[in-house]
Amino acid sequence: MNKQTIRDIDWSGKRALVRVDFNVPLDKDGNITDDTRIRASLPTIRYLLENGASVVLMSHLGRPKKKVVESMRLRPAAERLFELLPEAQEVKKTEVTTGPAAEAAAESLKPGQVLLLENTRFDPREEANDPEMAQELAKLGDVFVNDAFGSAHRAHASTEGVAHHLPAVAGFLMEAELNALMGALEHPQQPFVTIIGGAKISDKIGVIENLLPKVNALIIGGGMANTFLLAQGYALGDSLVETESLDLARSLIEKASAANVKLLLPTDAVIADAFSADAQQQVVAVDSVPDGWRILDIGPETIKLYQEALEGAKLVIWNGPMGVFEMEPFAKGTRSIAQVLADAASTNAMTIVGGGDSVAAVEQAGLADKISHISTGGGASLELLEGKVLPGVAILRDK
């Protein structure tokens, strides 16, 4: 990574303005049900406190649509942070994001103290990357630290705009994400296998086209595999397909062949007569899907085929599930891939899970701690894999 980090700053007596990702899930009573994202920010916050800084944190939560929504206040995040960070002298919380009250709260901080601002998306100027809001945020710190990789693909006032007014460096989480993802893409170890799943080709076309010249094999699963199969002439009953993407699928098959890349598609599937966990199910070859039935997971022969393709890989990037893993009867394909990646990581392969549903599947399978790198940013990791420049990264100081 060619960006400066918090290690490049003398923090003694300085106030760090840190963009974190505290967009955590809450239950109906406002209790945090998964604090992974808060825990991920702790190494950066601890380093700043240990090196003499006071810390002002900013984050969004949910989609309040540019207005104050009481259930989306960050108070629960502040309380959990204080529990997780006992070494902080105090974790304060403001009810505002910018303005005189926020400035007074920030200026009152002593080294070792932490302040969490209110939800940045309560302010209608945030998502517009309004220069005035960016200037107001800049008054709250001496140096800007971006540690919210999950929001780095957004050019918002708190992710990109503020960096025009303060020295801007990466936190440890941002550094880890960029080193893993960009390192894999710029200097891929061979053999390199990519697994792409999810519902639609149109959502992943950029990723596939960017990775095709780099990989040895491309494994396709999930609903998007159906469109490739339909493009090859298979009848798929009531399966999810993108009829408008058939030419695109044919083009990708041709590009893979021209690049001498193995493109692997399902040979059998778990099908059901309804989109329901209680539906009737059976395993069939992909050329034998009856009318009225739909593909909801890859079948056992396909699992074996994909496992064999992953044997010996030195680098594996996975984005998107193999089926409707949220329903237990159709989770086996996705879990099998998760297990293969966990096993590969134990043999020194670099295994990367790129955000979103794939992360949920790995965590559901209890294998998260066995994967080399799990990205905290679904949209951000997807755009990075597409080869796009992330605004929240580009604005940071170069080394």
| Contact by Cβ (8 Å): 120, 60 | yes
Active site residues: 37, 200, 356, 379
DSSP bridge partners of 270: 283, 297
From residue 261, alpha-carbon distances to 50, 230, 258, 352 in Å are 49, 20, 8, 20
> Cis before residue 167, ω within 30 degrees of 0?
no
